[in-house]
Structure 1
Amino acid sequence: MKKITIIYIAILGLAVISCKENATSKVKETNLETAKERDAKISLGSAIIEFDKPAFEFGTITEGDIVKGDFTIYNKGKVDLVITKAKASCGCTVPVWPKEAIKPGDSAVLKFSFNSRGKRGNNNKSITLTTNTEKGTEILRVKGTVLPKEK
């Protein structure tokens, strides 16, 4: 019993000694300013993305043709729109997206090329964008028909 009382007094003494410092004295002013700026940005919401068209229709082409096209991206939100990745559904479609942030009210262009070699028939390819919008991902389509190459 004596040992338990001594251990209890020792723990209580450590708690009293270690709690002398005021927690507010440890807070840095720069961290408070950074937190206020972050909270102000969060209150504006996420970026809002819109496109000039949801799909690029290339019509009918001959196998082996390469189609080049683009989508115009608009930022309708109150914060910068950032596209971190653009991934096509297959290697035949290659997107080139804007790497810089798109300011509120501004627009930018996503370009792509579609190689129809070995892609006979109806084609419906997708380009998935990873963004800082509320959904997080956006999908664009590239559609058309590829006729076999004449021999």
Structure 2
Amino acid sequence: MKTNLMNMAVVAVLLALGTSCDQKSDQDAKIQALEDKIAQLETNTAVATPVNVQAAQVADPSTLGSFQFPATEFDFGTIKEGEVIEHLFKFTNNGQAPLVISNITASCGCTSPDWTKTPVKPGEEGFVKVVFNSAAKSGAQAPTVSIQANTNPNVTRLQMKGTVIGKAAGAAAPVGPVKR
């Protein structure tokens, strides 16, 4: 019986040693695989870009238009409240590609823009018309429009400025826009 017990103990020890050797060689293989992966990442010069990052690239000048305005600001002087001022900002495309205005936004509801909707070829002219309605306005005014286009920078601002004198009681409002 002692012999059987002793034999079973020896078998158990051998199994334990055999199992730990198998576990150790399995761990060694995993460690080696991880070290290989780390070495591969360290030698790889390409950096993985996360999927939620927008790529920023230097703009190719041959794909951009370029505004050249004689003036980006128009002073309409002093007007009476209720007058409507209209100004046409003309520009030339000095870029290497057709200039495309994608959108124009006004700084307030008192200002409304209109613009050349078709691409403006290099060397050709286009326009941005800005209409300012001074109804319910008084004092110094400086409405702006922001132009989004295929230019660098991609936003260009135009400004009108002037002073609106408050309405006198009983005064008649002018009819139609006033061109200056």
Unaligned segments of structure 1, at least 5 residues: 1-41
1:103 is matched with which residue: 82, 98, 121? Answer: 121
Larger radius of gyration between Structure 1 and Structure 2: 2
Q: Would you say 1:94 and 2:112 are equivalent positions?
A: yes
Unaligned segments of structure 2, at least 5 residues: 1-59, 170-180
Q: Would you say 1:112 and 2:130 are equivalent positions?
A: yes
Higher strand share: 1
- Shift of the alpha carbon at 1:45? 4.6
Percent of pairs identical after alignment?
36
TM-score where L is the length of structure 1: 0.70
Q: How much is the aligned-residue C-alpha RMSD, in angstroms? A: 1.1
User: How far, CA to CA, are the matches of 1:108 and 1:88 in structure 2?
Assistant: 19
Secondary structure class of the residue paired with 1:99 = coil
User: How far, CA to CA, are the matches of 2:153 and 2:92 in structure 1?
Assistant: 16
Q: Would you say 1:133 and 2:143 are equivalent positions?
A: no
Q: Which amino acid in the other structure matches residue 55 of structure 1? A: E
User: How far, CA to CA, are the matches of 1:111 and 1:44 in structure 2?
Assistant: 27
User: How far, CA to CA, are the matches of 1:65 and 1:134 in structure 2?
Assistant: 35
1:48 is matched with which residue: 66, 71, 85? Answer: 66
Q: 2:102 corresponds to which residue? A: 84
Q: Which runs of 4+ in 1 moved over 3 A?
A: none
TM-score where L is the length of structure 2: 0.59
- Shift of the alpha carbon at 1:98? 0.8
- Shift of the alpha carbon at 1:50? 1.2
Q: Which amino acid in the other structure matches residue 143 of structure 1? A: K
- Shift of the alpha carbon at 1:81? 0.4
